[in-house]
């Protein structure tokens, strides 16, 4: 952790901006801002408190004066360190001095967690705040050194051009969010040197010195050795050039794939005839697009994907599991998704219901719902585990609003939610396996969802953490599952 800044943050931004004029920011980011940014929308900025994100915020403040009042500083406390709350206070003071809005949240569980769990929790918070503040744009502080680290980790995973060209300067997601990374041409040591020269402070994350996470090990143990071995060759400059070239190749191949793929409705088999004579790179992207379109990406590991691609290229018919009750079937003409042996169990249709009603479900079961007041007895029963999640759940209802509609539907592979007390979201498939719930029973159990089709409870599993009942909750939706 560096010493407190002796000057106000606006005064510190000016010399940092002079060290890195606007032209030093990534040209693709600047081009995107000029062509697509809207004058009225805020810019979200992810700021951890480290040197990279602090430098990013100061440069945005220095080079885009018309946006100063529209900057939204987002800080997520991963709660992995005892002193992490100090980071939030530091970033809040920084945002306040710059006249920017500030929002923060803390992970409900503390202590160590996997990189994927921390990333999911962080981005869930970012997306929530971006929706509330009506912005599509978020800036992150990735800089040039991050490229080589990421590339090495992706190589170990067997990634192709699509995976090796990250982090991209401009990244767009299916939900309309754009991630902008303007510092990708700036080395870490230059950025920190500029902050030190200006007298700017930042908070050094002590976990960066540990070997718990793969990125830390690559940064501390692999990158220095590579630089020493390469000698005069600049690893970071070379990696940045390779990333840019791979992005160009990937963009071109994706455009060609789109032309060949055409408009294929979800659920339709993938016709092999349209890709006849195309190179493997087009087949690979078409297969990935089809798997993603049909919600199968998370159901197949890297080995399964490679096996499927090899079969496609060699036209070898086969049948592979795509999750419980679902099968990928390849023949001479198509790649299709079938229901397999569990198709008969998934025939019941979703049922929409309101609080205070009872609905009939398969296997002569029913689901009863009612609104109850949250009192001391209910809180005690919840705290002592006296409410059996196999047959009953209580979900907190918003204050001063009607419960709205709910839905009970069959489980779909790919469904996931955050169970009560869990550090992050999990797939229902994994939870079913943990609880040893048989395959046939999984398709009979109702998945209770909200109006956005987000799972809230399945009999036998804990309710959703987001709707947990607390002493501040006034009313709850009580759900009871049992025979008719």
396 vs 114, residue with greater confidence? 396
pLDDT at 5: 52
Q: Which helix (H) or strand (E) holds 405?
A: strand 405-409
Q: Which residue has the tokens 């539907």?
A: 409
DSSP 436: T
- Assess whether pLDDT exceeds 70 at residue 388: yes
Tokens (6 digits) for 203: 């908070």
CB 129 within 8 A of CB 72: yes
Mean pLDDT for 120-142 is 95
Torsion of CA 119, 125, 127, 133, to 10 degrees: -150
3-state secondary structure of 482: strand
Q: Which residue has the tokens 């306040």?
A: 96
pLDDT band, residue 413 (cuts 50/70/90): low
- Assess whether pLDDT exceeds 50 at residue 346: no
pLDDT band, residue 345 (cuts 50/70/90): very low
- Assess whether pLDDT exceeds 70 at residue 253: yes
pLDDT at 348: 79
pLDDT at 4: 47
Which are the contacts of 355, defined by CB distance < 8 A and separation ≥ 6?
369, 370, 371, 403, 406, 477
Mean pLDDT for 253-268 is 89
pLDDT at 254: 95
pLDDT at 343: 42
Q: What is the mean pLDDT of the chain?
A: 90
Mean pLDDT for 140-168 is 96
pTM over cut 0.85: no
Strand partners, 293: none
- Assess whether pLDDT exceeds 60 at residue 80: yes
Query: How deeply is 394 buried, as exposed, middle or buried, from its count of CB atoms within 10 A (0-12, 13-18, 19+)?
Result: buried
CB 403 within 8 A of CB 354: yes
Least confident of 13-27, 88-102, 352-366: 352-366
225 vs 212, residue with greater confidence? 225
- Assess whether pLDDT exceeds 70 at residue 400: no
pLDDT at 1: 44
pLDDT at 6: 47
% of the chain surpassing 70 pLDDT: 95
Tokens (6 digits) for 326: 């679902």
267 vs 455, residue with greater confidence? 455
What is the distance, to the nearest Å, from the Cα of residue 438 to the centroid of all Cα atoms in its chain? 30
- Assess whether pLDDT exceeds 70 at residue 439: no
pLDDT at 187: 97
pLDDT at 61: 98
Q: How far apart are CA 51 and CA 196, in angstroms?
A: 10
pLDDT band, residue 297 (cuts 50/70/90): confident
- Assess whether pLDDT exceeds 60 at residue 340: no
Mean pLDDT for 64-77 is 97
Closest alpha carbon to 80 in 343, 390, 424: 424
Mean pLDDT for 237-253 is 97
Distance spanning both ends of the chain, measured CA to CA: 62
CA dist 431 to 11, 256, 361, 436, Å? 53, 40, 22, 8
pLDDT at 449: 93
- Assess whether pLDDT exceeds 90 at residue 60: yes
Mean pLDDT for 165-179 is 93
CB 353 within 8 A of CB 450: no
pLDDT at 344: 38
449 vs 301, residue with greater confidence? 449
pLDDT at 341: 42
């Amino acid at each position: 952790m560096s010493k407190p800044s002796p000057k106000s943050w606006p005064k510190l931004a000016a010399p940092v901006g002079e060290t890195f004029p606007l032209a030093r920011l990534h040209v693709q980011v600047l081009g995107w801002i000029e062509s697509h940014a809207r004058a009225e929308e805020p810019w979200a900025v992810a700021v951890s408190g480290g040197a990279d994100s602090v430098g990013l915020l100061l440069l945005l403040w220095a080079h885009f004066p018309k946006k100063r009042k529209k900057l939204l500083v987002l800080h997520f406390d991963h709660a992995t360190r005892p002193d992490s709350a100090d980071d939030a206070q530091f970033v809040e003071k920084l945002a306040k001095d710059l006249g920017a809005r500030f929002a923060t949240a803390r992970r409900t569980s503390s202590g160590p967690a996997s990189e994927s769990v921390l990333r999911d929790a962080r981005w869930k918070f970012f997306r929530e705040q971006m929706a509330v503040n009506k912005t599509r744009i978020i800036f992150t502080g990735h800089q040039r050194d991050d490229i080589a680290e990421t590339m090495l980790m992706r190589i170990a995973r067997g990634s192709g051009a699509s995976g090796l060209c990250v982090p991209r300067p401009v990244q767009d997601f299916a939900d309309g969010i754009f991630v902008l990374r303007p510092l990708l041409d700036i080395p870490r040591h230059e950025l920190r040197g500029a902050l030190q020269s200006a007298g700017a402070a930042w908070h050094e994350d002590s976990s960066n010195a540990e070997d718990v996470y793969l990125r830390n090990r690559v940064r501390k143990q692999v990158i220095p050795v590579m630089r020493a071995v390469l000698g005069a060759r600049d690893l970071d400059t070379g990696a940045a050039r390779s990333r840019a070239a791979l992005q160009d190749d990937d963009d071109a191949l994706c455009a060609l794939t789109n032309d060949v793929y055409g408009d294929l409705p979800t659920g339709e088999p993938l016709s092999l005839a349209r890709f006849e004579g195309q190179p493997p790179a087009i087949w690979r992207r078409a297969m990935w697009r089809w798997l993603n379109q049909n919600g199968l990406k998370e159901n197949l590991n890297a080995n399964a994907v490679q096996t499927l691609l090899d079969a496609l290229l060699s036209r070898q018919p086969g049948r592979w599991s795509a999750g419980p009750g679902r099968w990928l079937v390849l023949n001479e003409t198509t790649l299709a998704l079938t229901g397999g042996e569990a198709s008969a169990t998934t025939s019941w249709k979703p049922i929409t219901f309101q609080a205070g009603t009872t609905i009939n479900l398969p296997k002569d079961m029913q689901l009863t719902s009612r609104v109850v007041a949250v009192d001391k007895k209910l809180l005690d029963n919840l705290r002592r585990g006296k409410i059996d999640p196999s047959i009953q759940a209580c979900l907190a209802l918003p204050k001063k609003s009607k419960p709205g509609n709910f839905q009970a539907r069959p489980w779909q592979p790919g469904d996931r939610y955050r169970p009560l007390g869990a550090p992050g979201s999990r797939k229902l498939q994994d939870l079913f396996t943990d609880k040893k719930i048989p395959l046939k029973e999984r398709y009979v159990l109702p998945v209770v969802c909200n109006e956005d089709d987000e799972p809230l409870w399945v009999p036998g599993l804990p309710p959703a953490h987001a709707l947990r009942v607390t002493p501040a909750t006034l009313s709850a939706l009580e759900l009871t599952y049992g025979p008719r």
